[in-house]
């Protein structure tokens, strides 16, 4: 395999370590969440099933990104580049799992929306139906970027030591931006404002206190999802700036490295916020901590 010496900046290694560390911590938190949901029977609800789906997609997305960051770190340490045989497939998995992760929040918001707006649709509250929706969201996530495996759209960027779609004015860049970020974010915001309007109209009319209280509670939960999506937009915002710049001017040489710093930190913040917003997870964790603290080790 051919290799070539590239210019190594002094800040490469520290940045590689930072983004690798952030991503590793995020993966660890997703594993913790999945274990709590799996072993605590109080978490075996439909809502927590959807949360588990978000955690699982986050885990796979984090693993895909972590492998890229580790390769980047190794290449920088050795001061060489080499597009390994899995580079393009690795990029595809990153796009696919990122899409599945974002659409998992759409499922959470949609479940709560229909629960309030159409409470008589009982089949929507069945576990089998939600499992089917989860499977469809995974299929959608993996189908969206599949064409890049065959059209040579993904290339190895030597300066950034990563396989990605080159940022420029192209159908591929616009397509992946909308399918991975634009569509799920728009759907969630649309659901939020529809439910917000419903709560406002319901509060003005003579309605059951229980119905209004429940609607407000679900609205609060969707608002938390909007906050999570807003954090995710922080990732897309940096990419969006570079994409827009690529339409008119040349990009910074190390634009992907810069974007990854924001991306890894935002990803970790999303996982931490997801854990903080999910009360059953916090309660389950407190149970584990209390059991551990009350356990007497025999001497």
Q: Is the pLDDT score of 165 beyond 60?
A: yes
Is 260 within 8 Å of 161 (Cβ atoms)? no
Q: Is the pLDDT score of 5 beyond 60?
A: no
pLDDT at residue 3 in the model: 45
The highest-confidence range among 67-71, 196-200, 201-205, by mean pLDDT, is: 67-71
Q: Is the pLDDT score of 289 beyond 90?
A: no
**In total, how many domains does the chain have?**
1
Domain membership flag for residue 19: yes
CATH number, domain of 216, equals: 1.20.1070.10
Residue 54's nearest CA partner among 127, 137, 126, 132 is 137
Domain membership flag for residue 105: yes
Residue range 88-147, pLDDT digits in tens:
898 999 999 999 999 999 999 898 888 888 878 788 888 899 999 999 999 999 999 999
Question: Which stretch of 56-70, 196-210, 279-293 has the lowest confidence by average pLDDT?
Answer: 196-210
Residue range 15-38, pLDDT digits in tens:
999 999 999 999 999 999 999 999
- Report d(CA 93, CA 154) in Å as an integer: 12
Domain membership flag for residue 289: no
Domain that holds residue 155: 12-279
């Amino acid at each position: 395999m051919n290799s070539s010496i590239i210019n190594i900046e002094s800040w490469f290694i520290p940045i590689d370590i930072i983004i690798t560390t952030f991503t590793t911590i995020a993966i660890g938190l997703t594993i913790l969440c999945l274990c709590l949901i799996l072993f605590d029977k109080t978490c075996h609800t439909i809502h927590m099933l959807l949360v588990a789906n978000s955690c699982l997609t986050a885990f796979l997305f984090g693993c895909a990104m972590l492998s890229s960051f580790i390769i980047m770190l190794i290449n920088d340490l050795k001061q060489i580049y080499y597009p390994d045989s899995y580079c393009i497939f690795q990029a595809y998995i990153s796009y696919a799992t990122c899409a599945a992760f974002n659409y998992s929040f759409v499922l959470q918001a949609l479940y709560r929306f229909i629960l309030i707006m159409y409470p008589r649709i009982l089949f929507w509250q069945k576990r089998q139906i939600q499992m089917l929706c989860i499977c469809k969201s995974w299929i959608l996530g993996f189908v969206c970027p599949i064409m890049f495996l065959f059209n040579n759209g993904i290339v190895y960027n030597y300066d950034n030591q990563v396989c990605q779609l080159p940022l420029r004015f192209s159908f591929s860049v616009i397509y992946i931006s909308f399918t991975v970020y634009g569509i799920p974010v728009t759907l969630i915001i649309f659901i939020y404002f529809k439910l917000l309007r419903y709560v406002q109209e319901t509060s003005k009319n003579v309605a059951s206190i229980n119905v209004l209280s429940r609607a407000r509670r679900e609205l609060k939960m969707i608002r938390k999802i909007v906050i999570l999506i807003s954090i995710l937009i922080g990732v897309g915002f940096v990419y969006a700036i570079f994409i827009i710049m690529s339409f008119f001017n040349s990009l910074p040489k190390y634009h992907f490295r810069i974007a990854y710093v924001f991306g890894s930190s935002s990803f970790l913040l999303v996982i931490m916020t997801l854990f903080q917003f999910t009360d059953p997870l916090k309660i389950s964790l407190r149970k584990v901590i209390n059991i551990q603290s009350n356990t007497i080790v025999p001497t």
